[in-house]
Amino acid sequence: MRIRKSRITATKIEAQMAPMIDVVFQLLIFFMLTLKIIPIEGDFNINMPIGQQATESPDVPMPPIKVRMIANEDGTLAEIQMNQRELGNDHLAFDRLNAEIGSLVGNRDNPFVKEIEVEIDADYNLHYRYSIAAVSACTGYVSPQTGQVIRYVEKVKFAPPRRPEE
């Protein structure tokens, strides 16, 4: 069998560089946008001393302080309780509340002072002035010597009011 040679003209095919560069840049941008950098697990970069026992921190965070105010039928204050401790209902009850919170907060260098929280739980029919007096007693006092405000607590929250049971 005889193979014929055809006359094919040899034309040189050139690859166009501009579309190839565009595709490479699009792939590069795609991979850059889909890259998720994950920190190496277990690499905390902590150097622990050898042979020493762990010691506990002397500063323990305080639990929230709960102030309960019980009202009489006419809306006057019947009793103030702080963490189940009775403080009375006379005109000095809010001073006692202030002193108790001051003794609990203690040192102003305590790192947990900013995190201490007071929850005020008042009866539904209690007059508003008693709630304001409790907030004032819980947050701090004014120093008689310098006239500066000394803060005990910055976070005060109210429990949902208790409606009288019918």
For the chain, which residues make up each domain, given as ranges? 65-158
pLDDT per position as a tens digit, 47-92: 656 665 655 555 555 677 888 988 888 988 889 988 888 888 887 8
CB atoms within 10 A of CB 30: 10
Higher-confidence residue: 16 or 29?
29
- Given a contact cutoff of 8 angstroms between Cβ atoms, the answer to whether 137 and 97 are in contact is yes
One-letter identity of residue 119: E
Question: What is the pLDDT, as a whole number, of residue 52?
Answer: 55
Pairwise CA distance, residues 65 & 58, whole Å = 20
Residue whose pair of structure tokens reads 């105010």 in the numeric block:
69
Is residue 31 over pLDDT 50?
yes
Pairwise CA distance, residues 22 & 9, whole Å = 32
* Banded model confidence at residue 117, pLDDT cuts 50, 70, 90: confident
- Given a contact cutoff of 8 angstroms between Cβ atoms, the answer to whether 123 and 76 are in contact is no
Q: DSSP for 107-153?
A: -TT-TTGGG-EEEEEEBTT--HHHHHHHHHHHHEEE-TTT-PEEES-
Give the contacts of 86 (CB within 8 A, at least 6 positions apart): 79, 80
Question: What is the pLDDT, as a whole number, of residue 136?
Answer: 85
Mean of pLDDT values over 20-35:
94
Question: What is the pLDDT, as a whole number, of residue 43?
Answer: 59
- The hierarchical CATH code for the domain 65-158 is 3.30.420
* Banded model confidence at residue 111, pLDDT cuts 50, 70, 90: low
Average the pLDDT over each of 11-25, 40-54, 116-130 and give the range with the smallest value.
Answer: 40-54
Longest dimension (CA), the chain: 126
Mean of pLDDT values over 6-24:
82
Across the chain, mean pLDDT equals 79
pLDDT per position as a tens digit, 134-155: 888 888 877 788 877 777 788 8
Higher-confidence residue: 64 or 109?
64
Is residue 97 over pLDDT 80?
yes
pTM above 0.75, yes or no: no
